[in-house]
A and B are shown apart, each in its own frame.
Chain A
């Protein structure tokens, strides 16, 4: 990481305080090496793996570089659960990018999942059970009574009332 003494290629954010977010450190290539290993294991032994990106010292430039190299594949999903999340398969089948966003659309956590399908996309049996019950209730009330999309599913997260 060679700092530039002049008008260096530092990322500018937080009122111009230089913090090297605009510099690529080569982390993208290290991660790719690990992805290669994990993908091989998935292909040969069926073992899923994953890399937590948050724990790695990545600059914004590194992240962009990694995204660019991995590219986009055939599948993309936008999730709305306690904030937005995005999941897409990269141009390398079996290599998925899972990006969870928190408050204000900032990235809360990110991982590269090497798997046939990331767990977050699979619907949980408990949710299925709850949905089956709900549909049962809806239909037992008759077709005209309610609009099938009527039951608001607001993910209301309240602080507890003390």
Chain B
């Protein structure tokens, strides 16, 4: 499993030219929003790197992130990432199972101590000593702690690993927590999204390979190259928002004209992701282009934002819940205050 050759040597042996590297480097520079001239450095960096050992841990997740990053079509430059990494452990993609799989994980950890990357998808349950998700007889918490010990970096992929995601949503029965709550002594990169855009995942791994360092992160630990702008600020329907032209319901005249989806619940203004520029399925489309508002899936707690179809400017939950009681209380206090006032006056009049 461990290859002492550099990636450049390994792929040359397989007949993949340096020119193909350059194409991949140009593509990577482009999605990382680096200048085209960075492609040379990226190509050089990857060619000189050793095949990166990656251990992928899957906890309370739906496998959507794996679905996003893998493809079932003709090999292309997007698939090169799987040549650059040695995916030493992955529940869905690996052929080994049971004890053999766990042994593969431990072997990779030992051989590549201090140099392997841990990718985690899914949140970790903590309630009741973490019994709500166990693999190979140990809890997720134990597996995470033992695996990240000698890791070089941790990538929390998907909103579940980055912020808790679905399991974390109200009422969070399993006590799910994001990875950053547990791993505090290693650099953790959050690539949120439900699922994340595949290029966000592969681009970040390529960056780590090329430059050997963590890309610039925002306040939530997400790479700024992909999460630096809101959907709203890059949305092609923004002119309609500014002009006050909104679709009032799905498939009404405004919707057919491609107007802004704010009224049907779009959370674009507060969601940071690259959907409006990189788009999905290789640049084909993204939710708003397909007529549905943004769910805010790359933000913490997006399941509990109040409702996918409730506009962002509405109150969350029931704002009028206590109004009845408030009116009664106010009336009572008002009456009491008036009575006190009247009594005082009567007393003064009597004495005077």
**What is A's interface to B at a CB cutoff of 8 Å?**
1, 3, 5, 8, 10, 14, 17-20, 50-52, 54-55, 57, 79, 81-83, 85, 98, 100, 102-104, 106-109, 111, 113, 119-120, 123-124, 126-127, 130, 153-162
Contact = CB atoms under 8 A, between A and B. Distances in A.
A102 B19 contact: no
B333 interface: no
Interface residues of B, number: 64
B33 A55 contact: yes
Per CB-CB distance, the 9 closest pairs between chain A and chain B, nearest first, are A124-B18, A18-B258, A162-B94, A157-B75, A109-B30, A103-B76, A50-B36, A81-B20, A83-B76
B75 A111 contact: no
Interface string B103-142: 0100000000000000000000000000000000000000
Contacts of A126: 8, 12, 18, 47
Nearest to A16: B256
Given A5-B257, A14-B284, A14-B285, A85 B17 contact: no
A156 B104 CA distance: 25
Contacts of B16: 82, 155, 157
A8 B35 CA distance: 36
B262 interface: no
B90 interface: yes
Contacts of B40: 119
B53 to A, nearest CB: 10
A20 B15 contact: no
Given A109-B30, A123-B19, A157-B83, A3 B240 contact: yes
Given A17-B258, A82-B77, A156-B14, 19 more contacts: A17-B289, A17-B291, A20-B236, A55-B33, A57-B234, A81-B77, A82-B23, A83-B76, A100-B23, A102-B27, A102-B282, A109-B26, A127-B17, A156-B15, A157-B16, A157-B79, A159-B87, A162-B88, A162-B95
Given A5-B257, A55-B33, A103-B73, A162 B277 contact: no
Contact of A82 (B75, B236, B283, B290): B75
A157 B90 CA distance: 19
B76 A120 contact: no
Contact of A14 (B8, B257, B289): B289
B41 interface: no
27 contacts: A10-B258, A17-B258, A18-B256, A18-B257, A55-B277, A57-B277, A79-B19, A82-B80, A85-B23, A103-B71, A103-B73, A103-B76, A108-B76, A111-B26, A111-B36, A119-B40, A120-B23, A123-B19, A124-B18, A124-B21, A157-B75, A157-B80, A159-B82, A159-B87, A159-B93, A162-B93, A162-B104
Given A14-B289, A81-B19, A155-B20, A161 B95 contact: yes
A106 B35 CA distance: 21
Contacts of B284: 14, 106
B89 interface: yes
Contacts of A111: 26, 30, 36
A68 to B, nearest CB: 22
